[in-house]
Each structure stands twice: as structure tokens, then as C-alpha cells.
Amino acid sequence: MSADYNINFHELQSKFNRMMEDLPAKVGTIMVNFSKQRFRDQNWLDAAPSPWAKRKAGAKRNKGRALLVDSGRLRRSIRLINVTRNRVTIGTDVPYAEAHNEGVDKQVTVNAFSRRKTERQKIYSVKTRKGRFSRVEVGSGNVKTHTRHMMLPRRRFLGPSAELTNQLTRFIQTEINKVFSTSP
């Protein structure tokens, strides 16, 4: 008894090469989406989920708002930095990203600056004679250089993760299986 297989190795190699060209960008997209998902879930996912530290009690301005999201700049800035055939790098160019990702507990120097003083005043329109409230600058003050203790809890959103590695392994295996499947 014998079996005859008709395998076109040239076509198989062509499919494999195409898959290898597309794979790094797809892997990078998965990595970026994983990091952005950390903002939605507000946790770090390694072998097990690790919730981000809660905000200090009494922060009225931030009540009900997601952690690490004020304008959304940090979350939007996570992107592919470099994609080659052998390496994918994602990251961010936001200056405070590392402090939030790694946490901070140190003395920092605050440079001198000028602070504007404003008041809420009612301003009347000459035409309509209706008033509206607006903030009006009433003076300024100078703040001298000083030190301050900065403490930010670690809230990871970038870095190596066992769960991300598992997701990438499953994805790559699926892509390889597509190439070597018997269907044309």
C-alpha cells in the first residue's frame, strides 16, 4: 500500500515567507492592544491579574474617572516604535509614562515659576446687557525653587508579561498552522 501526496513546496515556501513578512506588524498590534487594555481593566496581567493601586481618598476632581486617564494622552501615545523581521518594539514618548509604569518614591526639585491669580467675575455685554461669568487674571505671584517628595504607585501598562507571551504564542501557532494547512 502506498500514498501519493502532491505538495507544491515552492508555493508553500512562498506562503511561509509572506506570513513571516506580515507577522511582526501583527504581533506589534497585539502588543499595543494588550497595553491599552490595561487602561480599560486598570490592572497588570502577568501570571495573575494585579489591580492598580487605588487613588487617594478625598480626590474630588478625579472622582469616578479612570486611573491614569485625564486627557487620554498617555493611553493614545502607546504605539509601535520599531518593527523589523526579528524584533518588535512598542512604547510611548510621553515624559511621565515611565514614572507611572515603574512608580516613583523620591525627592524632586520644582523649578521656580510664575503663578497667575484669577478670580471669577461677571462680565456684561454692552449689546445684550446680559452677564456671564468668566475667569479674569487679577495678579501673579512667583514661586521659588523648592523640593518636594514625589510618590506615585506602580501602575504597569508596558513590559514583559506571561499572559502576553501566551497570547503571542497562540497567535503565531495559528498563523503557522494556516500556512501548513492542507486546504489550498
pLDDT tens-digit readout, 74-90: 999 999 999 999 999 99
Same-domain pairing of 84 and 138: no
- Residue 96 is predicted with a pLDDT of 92
Residues 90 and 181 in one domain: yes
Q: Sorting pLDDT into bands at 50, 70 and 90, what band is 129? A: confident
Is the same domain home to 95 and 161? Answer: yes
Same domain, yes or no, for 148 and 161? no
Is 94 found in the same domain as 169?
A: yes
Q: What is the pLDDT of residues 158-175, one digit of tens each?
A: 999 999 999 999 999 999
Query: Are 130 and 40 members of one domain?
Result: no
In this prediction, residue 124 has a pLDDT band, given cuts at 50, 70 and 90, of confident
Asked if 142 and 112 count as a contact pair (C-beta separation under 8 A), the reply is yes
DSSP 120: E
pLDDT surpasses 90 at 110: yes
Range of the domain at 127: 105-152
Residue closest to 68 by CA, chosen among 82, 83, 78: 78
54 compared with 37, residue with greater pLDDT: 37
Residues 72 and 109 grouped into a single domain: no
Task: Yes or no: say if 75 and 69 are a contact pair by the CB < 8 Å rule.
Answer: yes
Using one digit for the tens of pLDDT, what is the confidence trace for 135-156?
888 888 899 999 999 998 999 9
Q: What is the pTM of this model?
A: 0.76
Residues 127, 146, single domain; the answer is yes
* Under 8 Å between Cβ of 144 and 27: no
Please tell me the total count of domains within the chain: 2
Q: Is the same domain home to 54 and 109? A: no
For 128, phi and psi rounded to 5 degrees? Answer: -90, -15
